[in-house]
């Protein structure tokens, strides 16, 4: 094979990959997927032919989502995990690898927010600060560190971290949450640098204020707050979990193989001027 033929073959392979938006048969691990955004992501990945691994602090919630997926004809695995515990995360990853032999896509969605009480930053209890960092920052680190070696070995992997529009808005009275979600952007950038040579991408999504079925979140998001946020969006409607499905699936697909180290807003234009 001459150099020109080899070059043409490589170009054809890249073009085929660029046109491939499928996630069929991919093993997709979504943390915090027993409810809210994670639940919708797991359900829709399964509907698209992926194997959804539902990992939540509540095994009952994970099993409930798995039942929904099974009833719709999809494939899934329900697990319990405490992402703030390295041992728990390692056990989760080991269980997935034992069942399926690999993790193709890791969506780091689990986080603490809805249960947090709004308060001035200098009134945040130290224990609450540490808890938010343990879940929202350490949890993402533990999951990425556990899943990445297998991805590196296979020469394929997608790590997708869920940050927040609050990072750029500087939402007041949630300093610990905003700080934790800011950390994910820097973590994503470094992961992209370290994993890129092995065919593994790392990207970050910044959702706006998403209305979910979670009771605590409903209590913390009054109609007044939701309407104020909608008024600041370019697309003036409520953001729902399904709004995050398209960008997450795209980043998980072969078509996004040359996109890494990016933070992409999915907020209806809420932060487009920041």
How far apart CA 88 and CA 156 sit, in angstroms, is 24
Report residue 248 CA to chain centroid gap: 7
Report residue 270 CA to chain centroid gap: 19
Q: Residue 170 has which token pair?
A: 């500087």
Helix (H) or strand (E) run with residue 200 in it: strand 200-207
| DSSP structure string for 195-221 | HGGGTEEEEEEEE--B--S-HHHHHHS
How far apart CA 130 and CA 136 sit, in angstroms, is 10
Indicate which residue of 177, 200, 206, 233 is catalytic: 177
Give the burial string for 237-265 (b: 16+ CB within 10 Å, else e).
Answer: eebebebbbebbbbbbbbbbeeebbbbbb
Q: What share of the chain is helix, strand, coil (3-state, %, to 5)?
A: 55, 15, 30
Strands across the sheet with 263-266, in order? 75-80, 51-56, 27-31, 105-108, 157-162, 200-207, 263-266
Q: Would residue 270 show up in a list of annotated catalytic residues for this protein?
A: no
How far apart CA 152 and CA 63 sit, in angstroms, is 30
Sign of the C-alpha dihedral, residues 113, 114, 119, 123? Answer: negative
Q: Residue 188 has which token pair?
A: 């994503």
Q: Which residues are catalytic?
A: 177
């Amino acid at each position: 094979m001459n150099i020109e033929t080899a070059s043409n073959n490589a170009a054809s392979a890249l073009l085929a990959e660029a046109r491939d938006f499928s996630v069929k048969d991919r093993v997709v691990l979504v943390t915090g997927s027993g409810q809210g955004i994670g639940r919708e992501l797991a359900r829709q990945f399964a509907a698209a032919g992926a194997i959804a691994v539902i990992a939540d602090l509540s095994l009952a919630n994970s099993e409930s989502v798995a039942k929904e997926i099974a009833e719709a004809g999809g494939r899934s695995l329900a697990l319990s995990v405490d992402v703030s515990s390295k041992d728990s995360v390692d056990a989760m990853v080991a269980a997935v690898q034992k069942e399926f032999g690999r993790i193709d896509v890791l969506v780091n969605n689990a986080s603490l927010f809805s249960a947090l009480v709004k308060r001035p930053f200098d009134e945040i209890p130290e224990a609450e600060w540490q808890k938010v960092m343990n879940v929202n920052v350490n949890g993402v680190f533990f999951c990425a560190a556990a899943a990445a070696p297998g991805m590196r070995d296979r020469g394929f992997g997608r790590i997708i971290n869920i940050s927040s529009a609050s990072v750029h808005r500087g939402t007041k009275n949630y300093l610990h949450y905003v700080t934790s979600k800011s950390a994910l952007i820097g973590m994503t950038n470094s992961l992209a640098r370290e994993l890129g040579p092995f065919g593994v991408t790392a990207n970050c999504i910044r959702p706006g204020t998403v209305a979910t079925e979670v009771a605590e979140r409903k209590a913390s998001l009054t109609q007044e707050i939701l309407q104020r946020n909608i008024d600041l969006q370019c697309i003036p409607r409520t953001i729902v979990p399904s709004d995050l499905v398209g960008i997450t699936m795209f980043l998980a697909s072969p078509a996004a193989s040359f996109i890494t180290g990016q933070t992409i807003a999915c907020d209806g234009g809420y932060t487009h001027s920041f």
